[in-house]
Structure 1
């Protein structure tokens, strides 16, 4: 190891002035058997630093065929390897000037050992959670109601929250939010998606109960556990005189009814659909086309107006693939029509306008701004 005299001699050879330097001098040396592959460095922002310092964990998630992501308790980050021209040294216990005593009058030598080194590090950027797989996994074994005596329940795979966290590239908070969005329910410790027919049966039970009891749609009381789950999905819970009631959400009920009508039809005459749709919803509720954003697409281009099922959840999570698919379905889109199908692709602080500018070309058609593909699309 170097002595203080050797260090001072080196300073003189380098033509440096000692008074311009810190009084504490770090003398670095490599530990035994140090290899560059011993450690990986990761750059953390202030939020993640506080997260780690608070004793919370960071988890890397991804199957073998997926790009790995890093998740905190509430956010998902993209992992990208960044190279640097400067060699990065891993020096535990190394003190920066702010951590050194100010009262030192004479130079002081501090021997510090290097534990590892590398010329690259992991760079983190916030990204959208990859949630498409969640519904696919839960639909392997949808819940169709309590098993009747003499009937065997579907023996497909069931998933606990821990199982889902192992498979889904999302933070726990993002995963919980998506489970609510897709109306999943916890049955015997496993997360289950309701079978669509069963979900519609529950809706029928509720609306029939409301009709038979002459209740208001804004004051529905509980029945069974599954009815309560359905009411939580399609209504808002409140209490009155210490009793629990639910106010049904008109838009959600009308939207679910439209899905029931459209799921088995390739295209539906718009006028006929609107008539059947209004007749199918509970009396007192009103249907509107704006209730179907990101669920159905209206075509007013040629002949009689039509409507067809087009759910945003069925589209690719990849931005370029999403736009290419949309432009194969329709050559030109108005901003109002395309926005519901791309707004979930927007990154942090990104607007749909910026997204459309990047992935589509705008033009005017009969005085209306429309968007089409930036490249020829195979049909």
Structure 2
């Protein structure tokens, strides 16, 4: 066995060993493609490849690992360069795009009359700030229906102005004799010209992407799910921080929806991840209340997420809590593992509820 001799420039923990337990990670490192560790000073670091995000976790080991190099002069001696007592573990995780919503909210498009000095953020800046891979960031921008300005910056449309455009489209379609669920792109633009002629094409297309099933189809059709979910969130946000009586909310939401989609009756399943319900006895009768609580406003760290959930409400039904966990989990199995770690299953009569395991 060769002799081990500590190097003259030995410095403990000057090296880090990274465990590559994922085939995509191995391919990314071996191919030489860009791999980036991201995070602001108060963030938990993540590692991003071109297409995926991984949490970075230090794992301590009970046995030290000696990192050695052969001695140039004597083949029977090895020089100890480092004494390692931990490794770095990389685990697949969801991209942490909550900061993207914050960044885009600083430059919302609220109409052509309010454009003085408005500017968004370039893709490069967003990529340097948001803990997501380039592919995941592009997908997140598409999900938020962001549009690119002439100077190459990304922005989103303010919800109040989106509502104005949606209402204007439906009203003008009725006046012009068009069907909002069966119109051409030219007809849609004719409708928007009635009240929004000064709105530029990128904003119009972002608006249509929000509510139309396929903007590239020969005949455009409003997506009932997207329209109902958007209008439901608008109604819920009217009472942000307060409760709606369920029957009052459903009536208001239904009336608003039918102004756009005639004869359509929305259902609560459309609003998963935007609300929770509370049942209380009022005059000895059960009364259900609904509260606006969007998952997009919650932390992306699982422990912080569950702490926030149980601060808002002590007990959650499965149908209420699942939408607030799904965006953290890779699949149902991972979701169940998160629930097992952070919650405790309880029985209330014949109902199953989740309580907090966090002390």
**TM-score, normalising length: structure 1:** 0.75
Contact persistence 1:89–1:118 (CA under 8 A): no
Aligned residue in 1 for 2:93:
127
CA distance in 2, matches of 1:271, 1:213: 34
Give the counterpart of 2:172 among 209, 230, 240: 209
Q: Note the alpha carbon deviations across 1:267-321, whole angstroms, 9 max, x for none.
A: 2222122122111112133211111111122333333322221111112223233
Contact persistence 2:148–2:202 (CA under 8 A): no
Matched, 1:199 2:162: yes
Give the CA deviation at 1:110: 8.8
CA distance in 2, matches of 1:364, 1:27: 64
Matched, 1:183 2:145: yes
**Segment drifting more, 78-87 vs 275-284:** 78-87
CA distance in 1, matches of 2:14, 2:340: 44
Map 1:56-95; keep pairs closer than 5 Å.
Answer: 56-82=33-59, 85-89=64-68
CA distance in 1, matches of 2:230, 2:128: 31
Give the CA deviation at 1:197: 1.2
SS of equivalent residue, structure 1 residue 324:
helix
How many residues align? The count is: 328
CA gap of 1:295–1:168, structure 2 versus 1, over 3 A, is same
Contact persistence 1:58–1:72 (CA under 8 A): yes
CA gap of 1:225–1:360, structure 2 versus 1, over 3 A, is same
User: RMSD between aligned alpha carbons?
Assistant: 3.1
SS of equivalent residue, structure 1 residue 245:
coil
Matched, 1:267 2:233: no
Aligned residue in 2 for 1:138:
104
Aligned residue in 1 for 2:220:
246
Matched, 1:336 2:319: yes
CA distance in 1, matches of 2:9, 2:339: 53
Aligned residue in 1 for 2:275:
296
CA gap of 1:351–1:54, structure 2 versus 1, over 3 A, is closer
CA distance in 1, matches of 2:76, 2:275: 69
Give the CA deviation at 1:74: 1.2
Structure holding more helix per residue: 2
Give the CA deviation at 1:353: 3.3
CA distance in 2, matches of 1:328, 1:38: 42
CA distance in 2, matches of 1:111, 1:190: 61
Give the counterpart of 1:308 among 291, 313, 322: 291
Contact persistence 2:146–2:206 (CA under 8 A): no
Matched, 1:286 2:265: yes
Aligned residue in 1 for 2:230:
256
Q: Note the alpha carbon deviations across 1:72-102, whole angstroms, 9 max, x for none.
A: 01111122334551212468xxxxxxxxxxx
**Segment drifting more, 351-360 vs 129-138:** 351-360
CA distance in 1, matches of 2:301, 2:55: 14
Aligned residue in 1 for 2:131:
169
SS of equivalent residue, structure 1 residue 370:
strand
CA distance in 1, matches of 2:91, 2:155: 32
Matched, 1:220 2:183: yes
Give the counterpart of 2:253 among 246, 252, 277: 277
SS of equivalent residue, structure 1 residue 321:
helix
CA distance in 2, matches of 1:199, 1:344: 25
Q: What 5-or-longer segments of structure 1 have no aligned partner?
A: 1-13, 15-25, 92-108
SS of equivalent residue, structure 1 residue 77:
strand
